[in-house]
Structure 1
Amino acid sequence: MNNSLTVVIPYWNGEDLLKDVIQNALLLNPIEVIVVKPENKNVDSTELTFNKKIIFVDCNKVNSPYDKAFTKARGEILLFIDGNNLNNMNELLTFIKPIATGNSDLVLNDLSQLLMKGEVLSPLMVWCQNINEIVGLREFGISNILSFPFAIKKRSVPSLKMENPIVSYFELIQKGAKVSKSFVTPSEGLLKVRPFSHEEESIYTNWILDALGQWLEIKGKRGALSDGGKRLDILEDLKIKKGLLNCKSGWGTQSSLYKGKKLSIIIPAQDEELTIGEVIQESRKLEPYEIIVVVNGSTDKTAEIAKNHGATVVEYHERLGHNVGRSIGAYISKGDILLFIDSDFPIKTKELLPFATSLCNGVDMALNDLNGLLPIQYPLHNVSAFKYGLNILCAKEFLGIGSLLAVPHAISRSCLEHIGFESLACPSLAQVKAIEGGYTVSCVQQVDVLRPNKMRPEQHLGSYTHGGSRQYVLEKIYADPNYTSNKVRFENHKPIQKGWGYFSSLYQGKQLSVIIAAQNAEQTIEQVIREARKIEPLEIIVVLTGSTDNTEEVVKKLGVTLFVFKENIGLGQARYIGAISSKADIINFVDPSQKGQTPAEQRIIGDHLEAISHFIQHRKTTNN
């Protein structure tokens, strides 16, 4: 194998370290050192300009510094290092060796080691995390091809071009390239992580958008992710006035609270007989013109109770899928202000009122401000990263993770008519359309919907970042009717082996339990368990349900606490058993698959990709 090395050194501003960086690079014995410099800058060093190994290449705003060097390089291995940052030579060798030995095609800088837990993430870092999520490399976090140093095998890039490094990154992943991470100690911490300027960040954002556009053209507007079975056909029928609604009208009030405007409250519901009455009663205090409950897929008395409380009730026997009920409620509503809430827990009137009144004072789309509860900091949940990333693309960074995905939220009638009631089935798309239409979108009030929100195991558990305090998780479990009916099984089943763990200092005096519910995961579970060890859990509990492959044999060798059910009890119940048997203060549910996305995460990320796809197309149309 040809292991010839080219070192590429882009630099942007200042030459304070450039000479030392080049001299350090020469110690790696490359066949050449390519210095990519701004075309208006000259290097004032006779020693450098007369060295035949050193090649200077000019770059302007039009040309990618990556591509200028990539096309010129003669080496089979290219090491990109920052001309404004002096790295340790031995650390740089750890980027080259995996490629030289055939173990990797691309070695990225492990930026996660630069970040302290709770540190604020820049917009670019958030989008680098999103890109890794999209291509199935969640474990790479914010590590990316936009951060130096990184090393790449030249022939691994199918196009042999690097006009847009993010496009090249997508190409590499699609072709099955082997990607790994290494680490260099920066001389000045995060100050030496690119980009330095707003201008650079703007260039990077354009690269990201262009790469996403190409990726989504190949994979489809949702990036090949499921929408969770949304009945969009019903909405299409309503658009052309073909749909028939099974609707029972209720009663309401013409209030003086909203400057002559009418308030419609819309509540989608499924099997919420225990809470729907209280939710409607609390909502009445807002003096709505109408309360619309869209009941779908229910097998209990939700619809009957809602009717008894005077709500307008629309019934569908089948499940409609997430957010379709909100679209139908908006379709039949008559109010000027549409307030959307959930049916599984009541929200106090004083918390809901600002959403409605803000629409009387210039706001068109009022969002729940969850930024104080879920700050944009490391490590950032994948769904939060996409919410923030979408707002960044729309030049609404100030919204943070503000999203139409979270209740409560409110929409003006004029805004609804612009975006179309059917777009509410994809909340992120509706939000983008409102912003594009020039409507005012604002986070108006913080309502903690995280703690009271119902846990739905098959939808919400399974990622590396989902879980919570043991007390919180157990409260959710004990409130689930499935727990009551299977209490003996949950509490009395014993593990076939007990494992080992760490007494960690990472969690501010608390300890962590990792729980993995799995079925037929022999190909991936060992890697998942080994990754989980890195976060120093007190215990790793694996609950196998109905496995017919060698998962049990694989897991037994890995020092975990192991429960085995020969019959398939379902992953939700398996997680419950793991949680109930856990001993630590914090519970982290981990998916046994490598990608680790739960059904809910796939649906939500798919919604955001659909919104991004629309945004890119709208941007092209506007620019043309």
Structure 2
Amino acid sequence: MAGMAAKLRMNEHWTRYCQRSRRARGPAQGRAYADGFADGLRLPRSGWVPVALAKTASAVVLAGSRASAEAVEQLLRLPFQDVIVVLEDGGPEAFARLRALPDITIVHTQERLGADVGRTVGARMTRAELVLFADGEAAVPAEQLAVLLAEARSGSDLVLADVSRRLGPFRGWDDAARVRAFVNWSLGHPELKANSVAVLPHVWSRAGLERVGLPQLAVPPMAQRAALEQGLRIRCTPIVAPKSGPAADAAGAAAKAKLEAGDHIEALRAAMGAKGARLSLPDLARRRSTAGGRTP
């Protein structure tokens, strides 16, 4: 039995085992089960991380010139039916690093698709019931990604990585976090704080993706706005900070921050066009109708 087939079979058995048991099974028990399954098949232990899933799951990985084999290797420890890596403008070295890995599908384009368009490209290539979007340039331990998948199995349409704890006091937040929090607050969801689909990793359900529309994924704040307007069930789950890859140049980081801010402004404008200039926020300080102004 090949490695991926064995891993998926192991996870099926683990899922049934957990469903029969009335006791919660922790990560240590899951790892021991996976190792025992591999031993029984006389396969090398690969550090599989089982997740009790009654749904199919796939991963879409967004990568560029700083693509990390380690980031993808963590995904290969999880019970994904496929791992799709969208490698944009990565060059031959990045492609070679990824091509050496087993059981992945690489979409390699040396042209610039445009920021985040790879999300839509990857999502169109799978019909899995759960889709995890990950950063191919920053490794997140498989055990942490399993937490997101476990939350998604309970019926959530969108599971975001909760970054609140690592942001610290508000005075220390960067501009991107402040913009994300402002948009969530303006759209009537302050409980989301600075959490957003603009941040990787996160998990969508297939039903959530279809209600929002795959083209919306190309502009993450627009996808989040649509998810909120559609009333999707959104959860935030803390995970450890990802292991960063090589640092981007200052100019590239500044351009990315500017683009993200512009995307959030676009989402706000779209929401204001649908709900009015004040969105869901009442004006308690002014009686505009008495003053002869427009009532929001």
Matching residue within 57, 66, 82 for 1:263: 57
Amino acid at match of 1:616: M
What is the distance in 2 between the residues matched to 1:611 and 1:367? 18
Q: Return the alpha-carbon distance in structure 2 between the equivalents of residues 459 and 339 of structure 1.
A: 29
Structure 1 residue corresponding to 2:76, chosen from 271, 284, 288: 284
1:350, CA displacement in angstroms?
Answer: 1.1
Pick closer, same or farther for the CA change 1:375–1:442 going to 2, 3 Å.
farther
Q: Distance in 1 between matches of 2:206 and 2:59?
A: 13
Matched with 1:452 is 244
Q: What is the deviation of 1:307?
A: 3.9
Q: Does residue 320 in structure 1 map to residue 113 in structure 2?
A: yes
Offset from partner CA, 1:384-409 (integer Å, 9 cap, x none) = 11100111012211111011111111
For 2:94 and 2:73, the matched residues in 1 are separated by: 14
- Structure 1, residues 468-488: CA drift from partner, whole Å, max 9, x if none? xxxxxxxxxxxxxxxxxxxxx
Match of 1:348 in 2: 141
Greater radius of gyration (CA): 1
Match of 2:191 in 1: 398
Preserved CA contact (<8 Å) 2:140 2:241:
no
- Displacement of 1:272 after TM fit? 3.7
**Counterpart amino acid of 1:369?**
D
CA displacement at 1:422 relative to structure 2: 1.5
1:436 matched to which residue of 2?
229
Q: Does 1:617 align with 2:273?
A: yes
Match of 2:37 in 1: none
2:247 is equivalent to residue 600 of structure 1: no
What is the rounded CA distance, in whole Å, between the counterparts of 2:245 and 2:193 in structure 1? 21
Q: Quick one: distance in 2 between partners of 1:453 and 1:376? A: 25
Partners of 2:93 and 2:84 in 1: CA distance: 16
Q: Matched residues in 2 for 1:364 and 1:354: separation?
A: 15
Q: Secondary structure at the match of 2:171?
A: coil
TM-score (normalised: structure 1): 0.36
User: Which residue of structure 2 aligns with residue 427 of structure 1?
Assistant: 220
Give the one of 362, 365, 369 matched to 2:158: 365
Taking the TM superposition and a 5 Å limit, the aligned residue runs for 1:76-475 are 253=8, 255-256=11-12, 257-272=51-66, 275-276=68-69, 278-308=70-100, 309-375=102-168, 377-449=170-242, 452-459=244-251
**Residue in 2 aligned with 1:129?**
none
| CA apart distance, 1:306 | 3.0
Give, in whole Å, the separation in 1 of the partners of 2:57 and 2:231.
23
SS of residue paired to 1:410 = strand
Distance 1:329 1:351 in 2: 22
Q: Distance in 1 between matches of 2:251 and 2:52?
A: 37
1:259 maps to a residue whose letter is: L
Kindly provide the CA deviation profile for residues 398-444 of structure 1, in whole angstroms up to 9, marking residues without a partner as x. 11101111111111100101111111111111111111111011211
Aligned amino acid, residue 619 of structure 1: K
Counterpart CA distance in 1 for 2:264 and 2:239 is: 22
In structure 1, what is the Cα distance between the partners aligned to 2:58 and 2:201? 13
Measure how far apart 1:362 and its partner are: 2.1
Match for residue 25 of structure 2?
A: none
Distance 1:280 1:614 in 2: 35
- Residues 54 and 153 in structure 2, CA contact (< 8 A), matched pair in contact too: no
Superimposed CA distance per residue, residues 266-299 of structure 1 (whole angstroms, 9 cap, x where no aligned partner): 11112246x22x2222212111110001111121
Tell me the SS of whatever aligns to 1:434. Answer: helix
Amino acid at match of 1:260: A
With CA pairs under 8 Å and 6+ residues apart, which has the higher RCO, 1 or 2?
A: 2
Change (3 A) 1:616 1:428: same
Partner of 2:48: none
Equivalent-residue separation in structure 2 for 1:604 and 1:618 (angstroms): 21
Task: Tell me which amino acid in the other structure corresponds to 2:272.
Answer: I
Instruction: Provide closer, same or farther for how the CA distance between residues 447 and 293 of structure 1 changes in structure 2, counting only shifts above 3 A.
Output: same
Q: What amino acid is the match of 1:319?
A: R
- Alpha carbons 2:157, 2:204 under 8 Å: kept: yes
Q: CA deviation at 1:459?
A: 3.9
Partners of 1:282 and 1:439 in 2: CA distance: 28
Distance 2:245 2:271 in 1: 30
CA RMSD of aligned residues (A): 2.4
TM-score, normalised by the number of residues in structure 2: 0.73
Tell me which amino acid in the other structure corresponds to 1:604: E
Q: Distance in 2 between matches of 1:371 and 1:313?
A: 33
Whether the 8 Å CA contact 2:82–2:103 is kept in 1: the answer is no
How many residue pairs align between the two structures?
Answer: 235
Shift in alpha-carbon separation, 1:602–1:345, aligned structure 2, 3 A: closer
Equivalent-residue separation in structure 2 for 1:424 and 1:459 (angstroms): 25
SS at match of 1:327: helix
Query: Counterparts of 2:187 and 2:167 in 1: how far apart (Å)?
Result: 20
Identify if the C-alpha distance between structure 1 residues 379 and 280 changes in structure 2 by more than 3 Å, giving closer, same or farther.
Answer: closer
Ranges in structure 1 where 5+ consecutive residues have no aligned partner: 1-250, 462-597
Distance 1:344 1:407 in 2: 11
Separation in 1 of the partners of 2:178 and 2:64? 29
**What do residues 199-234 of structure 1 show as CA deviations (whole Å, max 9, x unaligned)?**
xxxxxxxxxxxxxxxxxxxxxxxxxxxxxxxxxxxx
Segments of structure 2 that go 5 or more residues without pairing to the other structure are 13-50, 281-295
Where 1:372 maps in the other structure, the secondary structure is: helix
Q: Which amino acid counterpart does residue 139 of structure 2 have in structure 1?
A: P
| Identity within the alignment, % | 23
Aligned residue type for 1:300: P
